[in-house]
Amino acid sequence: MSWQPEEPYNALPLPPTPDSLESRAVLKAAIGASTALAKLDQAAVSMPTPAVLINSIPVLEAQASSEIENIVTTTDELFRHVDDDGAASTDPATRETLRYRTALHAGFTRTQERGLTASTALTVCSIIKGHEMTIRSIPGTRIANPATGEVIYSPPEGRDLIEDKLADWERFVHNNDGLNPLVRMAAAHYQFEAIHPFSDGNGRTGRILNVLMLVEAGLLRMPVLYLSRYIIDTKNDYYRLLLAVTSEQAWEQWVLYILTGIESTSQITLRKIDAIHELQESFGRRSRATSKGAAHSEFQSLLFEQPYCRINSVMERCDISRPTATSWLSALVDAGLLEDRKVGRDRLFINREFLSVLAREEPLET
């Protein structure tokens, strides 16, 4: 075998052909994953206010994906600073996590406009890290077991070689060979992580690329697959199966793992959409009983685009004066539907029920 953990894996091969990847078990699992993903896509675009998901799910994805890299912040902190992209936060973890959200949106836009390329990956990684990233050129990158310090993998070295591997990855992503797109995503994710093209940020970049591949394949119209939480909950399996592809070419187990994640995550997100919809209806009924302003459709929509609301946002969205916006929000505070918090010179109104639904973690169904 040409691979040794301590030696750069310059001989990293291309992913196998479709007939090698699509075993009977894989094809069966792909049916369930595709069905669940299609239901999620339909539910997302059918929501009366799609901004509910566009604004919230990427933030949760950012939190989970960053947590995998031991960058930990709270849902409350993230949503409080989401409008300013974390610029006003003194918490570095919050700023870095919100950059992931920004990178996901930027990658989504680029993929829609230009297609998914190695350049997209570079842009995504640069936004995540907050400065311009380049392809690794300095040798010596080693990935070690965090508990023992033992080197378990050494990615390819040499800028030219890495660029060639990325070009191969890009061709594989767009190969018109009939491979199931979910299986392609699983294989491409392994390939990108094995290339490890950047000095840092590869894991988070790769997890964004997963969603972008599904968007480009026409399986998702909005970037709302919350896959990083599945990876956190099965973190040991994730790293074990990644390494098993390298050491044993154990592709089937890896692909099945990803397909299970897509199906389970889609089902969980569908339940979250249902819970948000039920809360919107209940909140709307209760709020309209307390204030005439609550009957304003744009006001109701704004309160569910993210859990934190500002007076200026209501003024601009509903085209009303500051006293009127303040009166509408204060009426909901008095009714116990919103929570009022003073942060510096800013006054925030928190939809605590909505925040609770978003932050609630549900068990995986594997």
Residues 6+ apart with CB under 8 A from 54: 222, 223, 224
Q: Pick the more confident residue, 193 or 61.
A: 193
Residue 306's SS3 state is coil
Cβ(364)–Cβ(234) under 8 Å?
A: yes
Q: Is the pLDDT of residue 366 over 60?
A: no
The pLDDT, as a whole number, for residue 59 is 73
**What is each CA distance from 341 to 88, 310, 345, in whole angstroms?**
16, 10, 11
Q: Exposed/middle/buried for 270, CB within 10 Å: 0-12, 13-18, 19+?
A: middle
Question: What percentage of the chain reaches a pLDDT higher than 90?
Answer: 66
Question: Where are the alpha helices (H) located in the chain, listed in sequence order?
Answer: 18-21, 24-46, 51-68, 75-80, 92-114, 118-129, 159-173, 181-195, 202-216, 227-233, 235-248, 251-288, 297-302, 311-318, 322-334, 352-359
Confidence of residue 15 (pLDDT cuts 50, 70, 90): very high
pLDDT of residue 190: 98
Q: What is the pLDDT of residues 300-350, one digit of tens each?
A: 989 988 888 899 999 999 999 999 999 999 999 999 999 998 877 778 898
Confidence of residue 83 (pLDDT cuts 50, 70, 90): low
Q: Which helix (H) or strand (E) holds 346?
A: strand 346-350
Query: Sign of the CA dihedral 104, 108, 111, 113?
Result: negative
Q: What angle do CA 182, 187, 190 make, to 5 degrees?
A: 130
Between 90 and 207, the more confident residue is 207
Rounded to whole angstroms, the Cα distance separating 50 from 277 reads 11
Q: Residue 135 in contact with residue 162, Cβ under 8 Å?
A: yes
Q: 195 to each of 101, 135, 155, 311, how far by Cα in Å?
A: 24, 11, 6, 47
Q: Is the dihedral of CA 136, 223, 310, 76 positive or negative?
A: negative
What is the C-alpha to C-alpha distance for residues 103 and 260, in angstroms, rounded to an integer? 26
pLDDT for 84 equals: 62
Angle between helices 24-46 and 251-288 (to 10 degrees): 20
Chain segment 260-274, per-residue pLDDT in tens: 999 999 999 899 889
* Cβ pair 309, 349 in contact under 8 A: yes
pLDDT band at 53 (very low <50, low <70, confident <90, very high): confident
- Half-sphere exposure in the Cβ direction for 301 (13 Å, CA): 10
Could you give the domains of the chain? 18-271 (1.10.3290.10), 273-359 (1.10.10.10)
Reduce the DSSP state of residue 151 to 3 states and report it.
Answer: strand
Region 38-63: mean pLDDT is 80
